[in-house]
């Protein structure tokens, strides 16, 4: 459902950010986002807010209180403010109740969003932390990678390795289908199954997600195998900044519409 002005609703943008929109609906919403700069701007603002929260969370040693405790504190504060309010005329009280209800709703919504996204730990980012995931390769030749027998497009991550990756990014209780535990340098380009080459990537949320990176990986593999790109260059470009590499090799600032639903690797399911 869209808002009355024809743009995506806040609920839809949150659902997209959380990776809860899939299939035909995901393609429809992404097509709207591609054509609508206002909705893209609102989504970017939402993601910046989440990223800011993550930075604050990572830089503080104070543990966040449990959800039930936070809700109880908020409700207690609202009750105290209500009891302390001075008597007023009937019309003033009605107006006050409306204003008070609006403020209370905003406070509850804000607290809920903070707690909701704190569960995600939003350590999943479009590009990995360079210190945690600098990339790692194995010794291979172009012939090794380009043979039909060697390339099947899917390289599953063992569960124990995936949980180690989530732990290194401080993601507790990762939500199924919200992430892809992805190789920074795909094995199709000689990437190693090494925790230094893995990170929890947003699967479908955000503009630069796992679907878009899968399209880049496939394209670079094709270029290498057609002798149009040196393997070492492909490895270096995707490891240093895969988004910049995507823009370079596809000559575009934003993901192409055909890549919104491009998929090789499945999401993490636990």
Tell whether the model's pLDDT for residue 212 goes beyond 60: yes
> How much is the mean pLDDT over the chain?
76
Q: What is the pTM assigned to this prediction?
A: 0.57
What is the mean predicted confidence (pLDDT) over 68-88? Answer: 51
Burial category of 111 from C-beta neighbours within 10 Å (exposed 0-12, middle 13-18, buried 19 and up): middle
| The pLDDT of residue 177 | 85
Q: Find the range with the poorest average confidence among 80-84, 147-151, 226-230, 231-235.
A: 80-84
What is the mean predicted confidence (pLDDT) over 198-223? Answer: 92
What is the mean predicted confidence (pLDDT) over 138-145? Answer: 90
Q: Encode pLDDT of 37-75 as tens digits.
A: 778 877 777 766 665 554 554 454 444 444 444 444 555
Phi-psi region of 19 (alpha: psi -120 to 50; beta: other; left: phi over 0): left
Q: Find the range with the poorest average confidence among 7-16, 29-38, 193-202, 241-250.
A: 7-16
Using a pLDDT cut of 90, give the percent of the chain over it: 36
Using CA atoms, how far apart are residues 146 and 149, in angstroms rounded to an integer? 8
Type and span of the H or E element at 182: strand 179-183
Using CA atoms, how far apart are residues 68 and 236, in angstroms rounded to an integer? 47
| The pLDDT of residue 27 | 77
Q: Encode pLDDT of 113-136 as tens digits.
A: 444 444 444 456 889 999 999 999
End-to-end CA distance of the chain: 31
- The Cα-based distances of 20 to 72, 134, 158, 204, 215 in angstroms read 28, 29, 24, 8, 21
| The pLDDT of residue 261 | 82
| The pLDDT of residue 133 | 96
Where residue 189 falls among pLDDT bands split at 50, 70, 90? very high
| The pLDDT of residue 150 | 57
Residue with the bigger pLDDT between 15 and 7: it is: 7
């Amino acid at each position: 459902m869209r808002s009355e002005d024809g743009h995506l609703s806040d609920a839809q943008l949150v659902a997209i950010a959380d990776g809860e929109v899939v299939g035909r609906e995901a393609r429809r919403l992404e097509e709207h986002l591609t054509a609508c700069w206002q909705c893209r701007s609102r989504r970017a603002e939402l993601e910046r807010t989440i990223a800011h929260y993550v930075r604050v969370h990572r830089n503080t040693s104070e543990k966040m209180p449990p959800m039930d405790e936070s809700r109880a504190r908020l409700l207690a504060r609202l009750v105290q403010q209500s009891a302390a309010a001075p008597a007023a005329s009937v019309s003033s009280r009605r107006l006050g109740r409306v204003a008070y209800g609006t403020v209370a709703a905003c406070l509850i919504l804000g607290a809920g969003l903070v707690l909701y996204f704190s569960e995600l730990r939003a350590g999943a980012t479009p590009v990995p932390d360079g210190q945690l995931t600098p990339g790692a390769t194995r010794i291979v030749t172009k012939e090794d990678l380009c043979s039909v027998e060697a390339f099947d497009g899917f390289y599953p991550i063992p569960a124990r390795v995936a949980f180690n990756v989530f732990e290194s990014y401080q993601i507790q209780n990762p939500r199924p289908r919200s992430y892809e535990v992805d190789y920074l340098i795909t094995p199709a380009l000689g990437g190693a199954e090494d925790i230094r080459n893995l990170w929890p990537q947003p699967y479908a949320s955000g503009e630069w997600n796992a679907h878009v990176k899968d399209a880049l990986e496939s394209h670079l593999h094709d270029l290498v195998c057609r002798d149009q790109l040196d393997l070492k260059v492909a490895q270096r470009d995707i490891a240093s900044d895969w988004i910049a590499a995507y823009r370079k090799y596809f000559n575009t600032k934003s993901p192409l519409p055909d890549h919104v639903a491009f998929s090789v690797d499945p999401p993490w399911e636990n």
